[in-house]
Amino acid sequence: MIPFFPILMGTESMKQPAFFDIEERLTRRSGLGDQLEAFFRTVDFEVFRPDLEKALAHRLSV
């Protein structure tokens, strides 16, 4: 989860997040090599789909 507060960098002071702050933060994080993006490129989550669908179907039927 990405925090909804500005990241302090150098002399940047705390400010209220603006409309585009989150997008800018995600872009900056991607440029730095976001570990979560690397994880998604590495792991094939479709392998887990049958088990997750089965568990969800069971939960909804209870």
- Alpha carbon distance 37, 30 (integer Å): 8
Matching residue, tokens 């209870």: 62
pLDDT(21) > 90 = no
What tens digit of pLDDT does each residue of 32-43 get? 877 888 888 899
**pTM over 0.75, yes/no:** no
